Structure 1
């Protein structure tokens, strides 16, 4: 197994960070562009495992795409809702956006059959809420090869009829986003009705805003009901669609100056409008960090005045992808913190709540775990004792966010002599969304 031992920063971090494009925006834009009635270039796109899976699947379905990784752009020819392929096998790996968005898009195809599968981890991630809606609106899932409601499965499609699509999206906001994006192309008036609540609400807002940018939005929205006229296609009235840098990836570099001291400039992060995870700036503000917009960039540095007492509890339901960043650096805090609103992250790339608790305990920290929360009692002396003789190996569970968050913690000059004290197992898992993460991190080390 590949390992990477993190060398602590012996001087404050400094420099400029160029972040990759947002995975969430890139994969939504790929779907919306494919369903559009014209050709379009996506600029600033992310090239990573998750987006490559989406690109490969769209090509297999007959779409024309010309990716340019060197230029971070993708040219795609839209088909106005028409899907050419009809008897295709698609493997979505462990890409949740590809899994949910592609499955919903396939339902638009009349008289076709598709076989879908994913990685072992993806076979445990929720699909039932989406499949229940699609099978009540024309699709047929004749068999599941494993556990019902999960990958792998075959889906026979007959077109999306319309009517009322009642969806339980409590397990993943991607299920609701997937239905919203295909609803305008249904065969008649369609209402997407959310039963109960969904998690990570800002991602639903992202989906609706991007749909409007591509020329289509609900006729009305009321009490969790989204009404569409049906039989529409998308149209982006511009030659290129520019993708924002990844706000979730930015969370690691918002935290780095807090861990090491110093100041960082995050390029193009000053005017983020689609991504709720930019709200992590408020978490870092509570820890004493200042975030200022300069031109289009975001400059992160310690506040000139003390921040005061850090809150005892943080609710991460809306920005749950970033909870790992705070959890990982929590051993450096002075008082216990509770992180809540994270139950749904147990069904993501891994059980993220349990993974973070397990790895923090390796570092001598006291962690109380509930279904929806972590309470972490920092113990700096125990942290130093646990890492005194050799670096502690952090298991990453094939989860990029576990790897990146603990990578930031390891940058602390914990023992005061530059001695490494954390090793990351399987650092290559960062290829899912940020293939060059550790290279970018190393470039911020003062020479």
Structure 2
């Protein structure tokens, strides 16, 4: 794929069916849980993307047996009952937050290990301190930073994970808490009690982690979303020889929104049975835009019998990965849209609030930005004027969700004559979670 991609607007209402990739969040959680279980597990419907390949590659470097078949969308891994086979390794986690946090915690199960970890320039800026401080204070490792304290790159000298009481600041990312929850049942000696200092974000991802842990045989005592979480000591056991990965609910959000943009309807197979992913609740948001959603035999039908264009205010904290999907469509509303509860997204793949504000302003929209919110005052006439002579380029900041969100906006026939008006820079960044996103989008135009 070239360094930029001009989006061709739809000339007719969309129809058809979209086969979505597997969930990144579930794929990487399953890999972590399976690796430290006492079972051999085949992940069916697994996601093959940059983030999951990083996880697979890292587990292989640590000595785990992992075989993958991209054609069959399957990955088979042999668990080692909480043992990390190799005592030394150099791991590169790219910009994969799940791999970065989960692997760091997994490594601390090894007594006497020494591991060098690094990530991409963007990952070097993402929060790790809460996890590293908690593990080091608990005596599970010694951390030697090679750059900025609390960030990649660093060396972990691991000492094994003991039971007792552990406190963690997970305010910057729910993945920090999820990482500790995943390894907690394998603590040596007395049970490990995990408590949160303050609040965390994106509670549905914590619920996902706990739900999957239960599937693998661990049902902790829970004192609400903030803990304490108390675990009995014991190995994980897979629920069967195979584990079915749900379709990615966040990826589904783009295709749930597409019929609102261009008209028509879409079928999303297997999305009617999504249970682990909180982002499926993006449907509730789209309901405010007139969405109608029917489910039959697991297939979700999405259409807009009454296309509504009034703006509204929405707290996206529980489903923050989907806020970009709605923000990108805001120029097509007729009143202002306010999105709140998203301060933590400033520390994700990029500063997502600033990125969306910048690109929407480039399209002539009046945007008000606070630390925790984004308000867009739509101006479709300004957008028409700015793109009448040539497509306008959207910078994506190496962020897959910025690229995909504006890709959906570009499908709108803004000028009424099929002229392209939006160009996506670095569309290949979608490889992080949805490598063939723009191919799938193109297939729906035919």
- TM-score with structure 1 setting the length: 0.97
C-alpha deviations, 1:24-74, integer Å up to 9, x for none?
A: 000000000001101111101000000000000000001001101000001
1:295 to 294, 297, 315: 297
Question: In structure 1, the residue corresponding to 2:329 is in which secondary structure?
Answer: helix
CA distance in 2, matches of 1:310, 1:207: 36
Higher mean displacement: 232-241 or 314-323 = 232-241
Question: In structure 2, the residue corresponding to 1:439 is in which secondary structure?
Answer: helix
Question: In structure 2, the residue corresponding to 1:229 is in which secondary structure?
Answer: coil
Partner of residue 88, structure 2: 87
CA distance in 1, matches of 2:62, 2:312: 50
Partner of residue 75, structure 1: 76
Partner of residue 103, structure 1: 104
- Cα deviation, residue 236, structure 1: 1.3
CA distance in 1, matches of 2:86, 2:353: 39
Partner of residue 153, structure 1: 154
Question: In structure 2, the residue corresponding to 1:415 is in which secondary structure?
Answer: coil
Runs (5+) with no aligned partner, structure 2: none
- Cα deviation, residue 21, structure 1: 0.1
CA distance in 2, matches of 1:226, 1:78: 24
- Cα deviation, residue 140, structure 1: 3.6
Runs (5+) with no aligned partner, structure 1: none
The question of whether the paired residues in 1 share the 8 Å contact of 2:5 and 2:423 is answered with yes
CA distance in 1, matches of 2:382, 2:435: 33
CA distance in 1, matches of 2:88, 2:78: 21
Partner of residue 260, structure 1: 262
Question: In structure 1, the residue corresponding to 2:15 is in which secondary structure?
Answer: strand
Question: In structure 1, the residue corresponding to 2:271 is in which secondary structure?
Answer: coil
- Cα deviation, residue 138, structure 1: 1.7
Describe the shift of the 1:306–1:420 C-alpha distance in structure 2 as closer, same or farther (beyond 3 A): closer
The question of whether the paired residues in 1 share the 8 Å contact of 2:343 and 2:371 is answered with yes
Partner of residue 227, structure 1: 230
The question of whether the paired residues in 1 share the 8 Å contact of 2:167 and 2:197 is answered with yes
CA distance in 2, matches of 1:14, 1:220: 44
- Cα deviation, residue 306, structure 1: 6.5
Partner of residue 418, structure 1: 418
Q: How many residues align?
A: 443
Higher mean displacement: 64-73 or 133-142 = 133-142
- Superposition pairs for residues 194-209 of structure 1, below 5 Å? 194-209=196-211
Describe the shift of the 1:306–1:362 C-alpha distance in structure 2 as closer, same or farther (beyond 3 A): closer
Higher mean displacement: 367-376 or 285-294 = 285-294
- TM-score with structure 2 setting the length: 0.98
Higher mean displacement: 135-144 or 75-84 = 135-144
Indicate yes or no: 2:431 matched with 1:428. Answer: no
Partner of residue 377, structure 1: 377
Partner of residue 117, structure 2: 116
Question: In structure 1, the residue corresponding to 2:219 is in which secondary structure?
Answer: coil
C-alpha deviations, 1:385-443, integer Å up to 9, x for none?
A: 11111101000000000000000000000001100000000000000000000000011
C-alpha deviations, 1:175-219, integer Å up to 9, x for none?
A: 000000000000131101011111110000000000000111214
Question: In structure 2, the residue corresponding to 1:143 is in which secondary structure?
Answer: strand
Question: In structure 1, the residue corresponding to 2:194 is in which secondary structure?
Answer: strand
Partner of residue 395, structure 2: 395
- Cα deviation, residue 367, structure 1: 0.3
The question of whether the paired residues in 2 share the 8 Å contact of 1:220 and 1:228 is answered with no
- Cα deviation, residue 106, structure 1: 0.3
The question of whether the paired residues in 1 share the 8 Å contact of 2:400 and 2:433 is answered with yes
Partner of residue 313, structure 2: 313
- Superposition pairs for residues 294-373 of structure 1, below 5 Å? 294-303=296-305, 305=306, 310=310, 312-373=312-373
CA distance in 1, matches of 2:356, 2:222: 41
- Cα deviation, residue 312, structure 1: 2.3
Describe the shift of the 1:138–1:367 C-alpha distance in structure 2 as closer, same or farther (beyond 3 A): same
Once superposed, which parts of structure 1, at least 4 consecutive aligned residues long, lie more than 3 Å away?
Answer: 139-142, 219-223
CA distance in 2, matches of 1:144, 1:76: 31
